[in-house]
Amino acid sequence: MASAAWSDRVLELLLKLNNLQRAGCLPFCVQGQRVGWVSQPVAQVLAQSSDVFSLCKDSGDRLELSDALRSPQDRTRAVQDVMESLRGRDAFPCLREWRDELYDVKGLFSDPPLLSMERAATPLLGVPRYGVHVNGFLHRGANIFMWIARRSLTKPNYPGKLDHLAAGGISAGAEVWETLLKECTEEACIPESLAATARPAGTVSYAYQRDGAQYLECQFVYDLEVPESFQPRVGDGEVQEFYLWPLDKVKDAIATQEFKPNCALVVLDFLIRNGHIQPDTEKFYTNFVENLHRPL
């Protein structure tokens, strides 16, 4: 039976990363298609750039990107100009995390992009952000061990926290598999021949609100079984150290402040899929499953 304290802490984490309330948010639309959600205060600020954004009330309140911006390139440039101006004024906290990295804005992930925009600005428009997370693990008899990374102390977000063997956001123009191979090589020096054996294991999605911004995130999850002889190495400096831990230790760790929160969710999904958490012994089993797959 899972301890009540562990279960309560994990559920608290799940609910914190699923606190987005759509009430009070406006749809954000491009070419008549809803691609995000924006809070009323943010919409009011964006609408001041009337050549790019407009508040429409004719058939339901919504924030629209100007139809005069006909191409993805035109939309990208126009939105980038607005966001850079807001950043210069320190208008919104999320823009302090500026990355100079573009993410695609789409209806469905498989759709062609309607525009691309700065990663740090995407929460202002509540557009989904996509990433890839790799569970690196091995079997020792009946036991599973997982490779865990500790983030560099120089990382702008969650420095020093526990993380996956490899993970990263999907930049504009990149594909899921391309991103997986790139992150495996850069973060953990995993040979491509080994990284290519990773198997897709679904997605983990969640949506939360912070400082008036809407964070909608979907992580493509892959399981990578590695041989006993495998040893990850620090690559691009985003990781400072790797640990090989038994699954019970990993399970305990995700209920602490040591783990990067969204990585803890992906590990929780792994624990459930591999039978390390059982519905007869975990009181919040269904709550866990439901909150790992939030509709975006």
pLDDT band at 268 (very low <50, low <70, confident <90, very high): very high
Contacts of 195 (CB under 8 A, 6+ apart): 134, 166, 180, 181, 184, 185, 224
Give the chain's domains with CATH numbers. 4-18+129-291 (3.90.79.10), 25-125 (3.30.750.160)
Residue 117 has pLDDT above 60, yes or no: yes
Would you give the distance in Å from CA 262 to the centre of its chain?
7
pLDDT band at 125 (very low <50, low <70, confident <90, very high): very high
Tokens 């120089």 correspond to 154
Give per-residue pLDDT as tens, 16-52.
Answer: 999 998 888 999 999 989 999 999 999 999 999 999 9
Task: Indicate the burial class of 76 (C-beta count within 10 angstroms; 0-12, 13-18, 19 or more).
Answer: buried
Residue 57 has pLDDT above 80, yes or no: no
Three-point CA angle 231, 272, 126, nearest 5°: 90
Backbone torsion region of residue 83, taken as left when φ is above 0, otherwise alpha when ψ lies between -120 and 50, otherwise beta: alpha
pLDDT (average), residues 195-221: 96
**Ranges 15-24, 214-223, 258-267: which has the least confidence:** 15-24
pTM: 0.94
- Is residue 204 within 8 A of residue 265, CB to CB? The reply is yes
pLDDT of residue 3: 77
| Strands 33-39 and 53-56, bridge-based pairing | unpaired
Q: Which residues pair with 163 in a beta bridge?
A: 149
Residue 282 has pLDDT above 90, yes or no: yes
Contacts of 23 (CB under 8 A, 6+ apart): none
- 201's tokens: 């294991």
pLDDT band at 79 (very low <50, low <70, confident <90, very high): very high
Residue 164 sits at φ, ψ, to 5 deg, of -80, 170
pLDDT band at 273 (very low <50, low <70, confident <90, very high): very high
Give per-residue pLDDT as tens, 143-191.
Answer: 999 999 999 998 888 999 999 999 999 999 999 999 999 999 999 999 9
pLDDT of residue 59: 61
State the SS3 of the chain: CCCHHHHHHHHHHHHHCCCCCCCCEEEEEECCEEEEEEEHHHHHHHCCCCCCEEEECECECEEEECCCCCCHHHHHHHHHHHHHHHHHCCCCHHHHHCCCCEEEECCCCCCCCCEEEEHHHHHHHCCCEEEEEEEEEEEECCEEEEEEEEECCCCCCCCCCEECCEEEECCCCCCHHHHHHHHHHHHHCCCHHHHCCCEEEEEEEEEEEECCEEEEEEEEEEEEECCCCCCCCCCCCCEEEEEEEEHHHHHHHCCCCCECHHHHHHHHHHHHHCCCCCCCCCCCHHHHHHHCECCC
Give per-residue pLDDT as tens, 132-148.
Answer: 999 999 999 999 999 99
